[in-house]
Chains A and B, each alone.
Chain A
């Protein structure tokens, strides 16, 4: 820690949350080294982004992702952090702060940022175990623990926080009911139309939503078992989350005699009634108003920092702020007076089949309020119109259609989102959470020479909170740096969507999306039927998620998988029959030779995977060639599949004088278990009978090497462009174990890798330790993965060649249309 001489004035901050620490950051930016700073935090964590708890609950982020300032940051900035000790009193005479465990710190200036407490409705049963709130990391942990046990959850409160909690619980497998007192959801942020659309969207995700539901009693004796409404209806519940609102945590302020009403009273400079004590955040009351959204906190932090570091004489002026719901796949934004009323004009746009709704409230030709539902890309533009409070002029008639249409109609730059971003004024707010405008981002990029999203987040805080403005911030970086900029975050799958592979996959499961049109509609695809990038990926994700339910879509398959053969440069195909473990016999070879003669197949070649490749077969010949090979007992070798290709073997102990086990037999068993399985990319296996490793198992996706005492298992090798030796997974003793570990590993890869990831880059991304933990250490999990693999295989092990026998309906695409006459 940097030593700071004792003569520096001492600043003590009570509250290690967002408002308090933002003030500290603002002070460091204005007057580094001015104060000797101590921070008390009641929670045992470093400072984290509380508004991002919802994505943590939903499994989209981890706690580490939402930490704003790590412990190292405190040390580097010479700040003493006392985490996990609540402040119990302040001696204002002696200017001394006292913690619950007896820690005392003197201060010259004190900043109170104790935030807010969740409001608990005092109905009978509210103290039962299993009744919790949604406020901090401990609550999230409690909810995740409840989800492990499963069952039913009731969330009381259909506001922002309640719905995010309910969505997270539902994603984690709880049967979730939302109880809301008012007639429509989020009535403080949404009008009745948008509230109704939100309710329908949540119900489509499997949540139950009851509006006008007044809780009478929480049921249970030992712990919560259910809830009873005033109309007598009872709902079973293993967990009850109260998310009905917050109230300022002014207890400490009140106790030490500061002037308080609902919150700690502050003036326009954020000073309390004691001139040495400042207060910011949700614990304060400013001109009769208490705040619960994040944007006002940033303004308060700036004003408090100006005064504490004596650099400016700013005043806190409350500004309008906007709201978004952090539920992936549900886009909404609202700000200002969105209801309207006297003198106000309301302009609405509805497109029910696309799930779009917009509402603009205008007063004297200026935007007074806005609600966007279904699509919120233009939120920043509408919000800047609202904040600028200028008459719309020529935009009056077109603003409802969004920025690109309105700007084009007004003669400005059109559709291109980059141009739209370039056209925004410097004062346009980009990051609503942190109140960062376009000019600030561009000037910081230029001054500091920033090149990455993380840099920009670190220096400006833009997109560092809820992250919904990330596309705009990346757009600004691209604008500033030109084409040299490559976005770092998981990129959108393709131009049809803004969502990345991982998010889409998660939503397919979370929302039980079982058809491709369903995925595209629910997740807001921009195109009617996707493209050649997203359709094959979605087809795979759906096939993997819903074995036996989802019907494979041939039209979303690449040519080779649709035609069950490999297209060659001249438009002909190659045919590879399966040879289990690379073993064949005279009858098979004779049949192959006959087919080659009969169909005049120009090239016969032995492949690297120990198979025979027949090259130059015409498309219309394929069904007949397959039928002849089928007749000799051979099936498709899937040499064309993003799936299991081959299991390569050596002759092992049956013939080889060095062989220690029957590697050929093991390979055949593996191939019998895994053939026909679809994967994110091709998968190759090999089994060697001794460490001489003649089957080259250490460059395969799953390689097995026999040793005297059993089998060594290796994973994630690759012999292609990027040569990569396997990682050693573990050693097992029996053949049954080889099969179980292999099935489990392949299933984990199927479920978690992104489409077109081979096992090697996937394992490098998630880490070998993670795979070991799931496959080696977690025996129960391994068995479950293996079972899911075998279950899916029940629907996959059908020979596609036999299905396309000449004359069968499935062989029709291989024939040409015959003109009449």
Chain B
């Protein structure tokens, strides 16, 4: 895992992105200060999920309002689809992310 910043770098009910060779990863912070990381691409038309409205443990895609469950990566009914999730955790107020490359190496 790799340190990507502090919790306060991410707006509550919002997200920041981490650029990787495999594409952008969106790191979310919800109202209850939980953090989640998923690929920044909606399974529908590739919309940047990091720019959606975050509510509960979900995010509404900014392009067509698909709602993605951040805990499972699945789209909520009636839509079907799934985004890749990445392990992310808080150590104190620091946010640690398992980058795809780092994970392969491990």
Per the bound structure, the CA–CA distance linking A527 and B13 in Å amounts to 14
Contact between A562 and B5 (Cβ–Cβ < 8 Å)? no
A619 to chain B, nearest CB (A): 8
Residue in contact with A529 in the complex, picked from B3, B19, B48, B55, CB distance below 8 Å: B55
In whole angstroms, what is the CA distance A527 to B57 when docked?
11
User: Which residue among B31, B48, B53 has the maximum number of chain A CB atoms within 10 Å of its CB?
Assistant: B53
Compute how far the CA of A558 lies from the CA of B54 in the bound complex, rounded to whole angstroms. 10
Question: What are the residues of chain A within 8 A of B38 when measuring CB–CB?
Answer: none
Cβ-neighbour of A816 out of B24, B32, B47 (below 8 A): B24
Cβ contact within 8 Å between A562 and B31: no
For B14, list chain A residues within 8 Å (CB). Answer: 554-555, 813
Complex partner residue of B51 from A535, A536, A559, A812, CB under 8 angstroms: A559
Would A536 and B63 be within 8 Å (CB), given that A569-B45, A571-B47 are in contact?
Answer: no
Given A559-B62, A562-B51, also A528-B46 (CB < 8 A): no
CB B78 to nearest CB in A, in angstroms, measures: 13
Taking A532-B65, A558-B53, A567-B63 as contacts, is the C-beta distance between A817 and B99 under 8 angstroms?
no
Complex Cα distance, B5 from A511, in Å, reads 40
A569 to chain B, nearest CB (A): 7
B10 nearest in chain A by CB position: A817
Q: Is the interface of A mostly helix, strand, loop or mixed?
A: loop
Complex contact A819–B18 (CB within 8 A): yes
6 contacts between A and B (CB under 8 A): A531-B60, A535-B55, A559-B51, A567-B48, A813-B11, A817-B17
Contacts of A819 in B (CB 8 A): 2-4, 18, 97, 99
Query: Would you call A403 an interface residue if the criterion is a C-beta within 8 Å of the partner chain's C-beta atoms?
Result: no
Residues of B within 8 A of A571 (CB): 46-48
Contact check, B18 vs A817: say whether CB atoms are below 8 A apart: yes
CA distance A556 to B52 in the complex (A): 9
A820: CB under 8 A from chain B? yes
Interface status of A563 (Cβ within 8 A of chain B) = yes
* Pair A535/B53 contact, Cβ less than 8 Å: yes
Q: How far is the CA of A819 from the CA of B19 in the complex (A)?
A: 9
Contact B55 A530 (CB under 8 A): yes
- Could you tell me the distance between the alpha carbons of A535 and B27 in the complex, rounded to whole angstroms? 21
Q: Is A607 positioned at the interface, with any CB of B under 8 Å from its CB?
A: no
Known: A571-B47, A817-B16, A819-B18. A528 touches B4 (CB 8 A): no
New A-B pairs, 17, CB < 8 Å, besides A555-B54, A562-B51: A528-B56, A529-B56, A531-B53, A531-B56, A532-B53, A535-B55, A555-B53, A556-B13, A558-B62, A559-B62, A567-B51, A567-B62, A569-B63, A619-B51, A813-B14, A817-B16, A819-B3
Distance between Cα atoms of A557 and B53 in the complex (Å) = 7
In the complex, A198→B49 CA distance in Å? 43
B12 within 8 A of partner (CB): yes
**A221 interface residue per 8 A CB criterion:** no
Q: Which residues of B are found within 8 Å of A7, using beta-carbon distances?
A: none
- Is B9 part of the binding interface, using a Cβ–Cβ cutoff of 8 Å? yes
| Total of A-B residue pairs, C-beta within 8 Å | 83
Chain B 19-35: CB-based contact to A (< 8 A → 1; otherwise 0): 10000100100011000
A536 pairs with B2, CB closer than 8 A: no
CB distance from A281 to the nearest CB of B (A): 50
Find out whether the CB atom of A816 lies under 8 angstroms from the CB atom of B17: yes
Chain A positions within 8 Å of B52 at CB level: 532, 559
A597 at interface, CB cutoff 8 A: no
A532 near B60 (CB under 8 angstroms)?
yes
* Known A567-B51, A817-B27; contact A555-B63, beta-carbon cutoff 8 A: no
Shortest distance between the CB of A623 and any CB in chain B (Å): 15
Query: Counting CB contacts under 8 A, is A821 at the interface?
Result: yes
In the assembled complex, which residues on chain B have CB atoms less than 8 Å from the CB atom of A569?
Answer: 45, 63
Q: Choose among B10, B24, B51, B55 the residue that contacts A531 (Cβ–Cβ < 8 A).
A: B55
- List residues of chain A with CB within 8 A of the CB of B27: 817
CB-contacts of A797-821 with B (<8 A): 812-813, 816-821
Contact B51 A820 (CB under 8 A): no
Could you say which residues of chain B place their CB within 8 Å of the CB of A567? 47-48, 51, 62-63
* CB proximity to B under 8 Å, residues A407-457: none
Question: Complex formed: what's the CA distance from A124 to B2 in Å?
Answer: 80
Residues of B contacting A619 with CB < 8 Å?
48, 51
The contact of B16 among A555, A558, A813, by CB within 8 Å, is A813
* Residues of chain B with a CB closer than 8 A to A555's CB: 11-14, 53-54
Point out which of A535, A555, A569 has the most chain B C-beta atoms below 10 A from its C-beta: A555
Please indicate the chain A residues that have their CB under 8 angstroms from the CB of B46 in the complex. Answer: 570-571
Chain A window 697-726, contacts with chain B (Cβ cutoff 8 Å), 1 for yes, 0 for no:
000000000000000000000000000000
Closest A-B pairs by Cβ, 4 of them = A559-B62, A532-B60, A532-B53, A555-B13
A660 to chain B, nearest CB (A): 45
Please give me the residue from chain B that is nearest to A535 by CB atom. Answer: B53
Distance in angstroms between the alpha carbons of A619 and B16 in the assembled complex: 12
Q: How far apart are B22's CB and chain A's nearest CB, in angstroms?
A: 14
Given contacts A567-B63, A819-B97, contact A529 B45 (CB under 8 A): no
A817 to B24, CA, bound (A): 10
Chain A residues contacting B18 (CB-CB under 8 Å) are 816-817, 819
Residues of chain A within 8 A of B51, CB atoms compared: 559, 562-563, 567, 619
The answer to whether B55 touches A527, judged by C-beta atoms less than 8 angstroms apart, is: yes
Min CB gap A625→B, angstroms: 17
CB distance from A1 to the nearest CB of B (A): 55
Q: Which of A380-428 contact B (CB under 8 A)?
A: none
Given the complex, which residues of A lie within 8 Å of B67, measured CB to CB?
Answer: 532
A556 contacts B5, C-beta separation under 8 Å: no
Chain A, residue nearest B41 (CB): A571
CB pair B11 A816 closer than 8 Å: no
The CA-CA distance from A821 to B45 in the complex, in Å, is 33
Given known A555-B14, A558-B53, A559-B62, contact A817–B5 (CB-CB < 8 A): yes
Q: What is the CA–CA distance of A37 and B27 in the complex, to the nearest angstrom?
A: 74
Distance (whole angstroms) from the CB of A457 to the closest CB of chain B: 32
A552 to chain B, nearest CB (A): 13
- Cβ contacts under 8 Å, A536 to chain B: 53
CB neighbors of A among B53-84 (8 A) = 53-56, 60, 62-63, 65, 67
Q: Is A816 a contact of B16 with CB atoms below 8 Å?
A: yes
Neighbouring B residues of A558 by C-beta, 8 Å: 53, 62
- Rounded to whole Å, the gap between the CB of B3 and the closest CB of chain A is 4
Residue with the greatest number of chain A CB neighbours at <10 A, chosen from B2, B54, B62: B62
Tell me the complex Cα distance, A487–B26, Å.
Answer: 39
Q: Among A530, A570, A817, point to the contact of B9 (Cβ < 8 A).
A: A817
What is the bound-complex CA distance between A258 and B13, given in angstroms? 71
